[in-house]
Structure 1
Amino acid sequence: MRQVVEWFKGAPNDVPERGIVMAKMPREVITALGDEHSLKVLATADDTGLPNAAIVATITPLGEEMVAFADLRMGKTRDNLDSTKKFAVTVLTPQMKSYQIKGTFEGFQETGPLAASVNEMVYNAIKMQIKAVGLGSVDEVYSACMDTPGAKLA
């Protein structure tokens, strides 16, 4: 996903504008999300509050205020994102550092430079085509580390 992050630095106009101030992920959270060896879980809930969580290895930071992820075979997750627009990401690094990001879902991009870049990377890694790239803005960031559980970072 490093290529996606590098691509994004040069093309911020491909991401929707919300017109509000988003939280900024601290550097250590961006590093954790960018680490291909980190475990990443995307959690959503449906309209009744029924939770759903899925491991989504493709979650990556797009700067300090956005995250992106590939939709390979999302069913409930995609339905929940389209319906409630809310999500949480938990990331656990190989060094046992953990963080939680709460955010607002901005939409899926099925075409365009970002989708093409993510699709190429995913295909090269696992020989699968993506359906779309999901984008989410960061609302809050928390530590989930053993020494500072629940500490608000942004």
Structure 2
Amino acid sequence: MQQLESLDLSRNRLNGEIPTSLSNLNFLAVLDLSHNHLVGRIPMGTQIQTFSGDCFQGNEGLCGPPLTLNCPGDVTDMPPEPAHEARHSNYGSGIKWDLISAEVGFIAGFGGVIGPLVFSKRWRKYYYDGIEDVAFSILPRLVLEKWLSWKFGVRK
């Protein structure tokens, strides 16, 4: 039984704790103990912690890794909640650099494109000449001539 590769005991109405000897199965590649009535801590071992929590779903009494539910008496890695005074001081009011960098990037990009168009006559001329070239190549000549005559009041 040491070389067992697959073990599917799902939906078998098993109850009680998972035997610790199950963690000694080093070749186990597939394990499914879902939808039973198992309780207690999932045994610590080399193999069992590598399986996803889906292998144990439907067993309301199970706890410990790889499940997110901690067992009673487990020490968590969460820091203790700060005292009332510390919560209202500058604790945790750090600068949100991701938002600031996004704003700076937007301003720099927008200013880098729009700024020269607003302040430089040469850039503005090149930009609008390019737009006209694209418009002339895409739009039919009649529609474009009508639009230009309407916009600039040019009559033929």
Report the structure, 1 or 2, having the larger helix content.
Answer: 2
Bigger Cα Rg: 2
TM-score by length of 2: 0.20
Which is bigger in relative contact order (C-alpha 8 A, separation at least 6)? Answer: 1
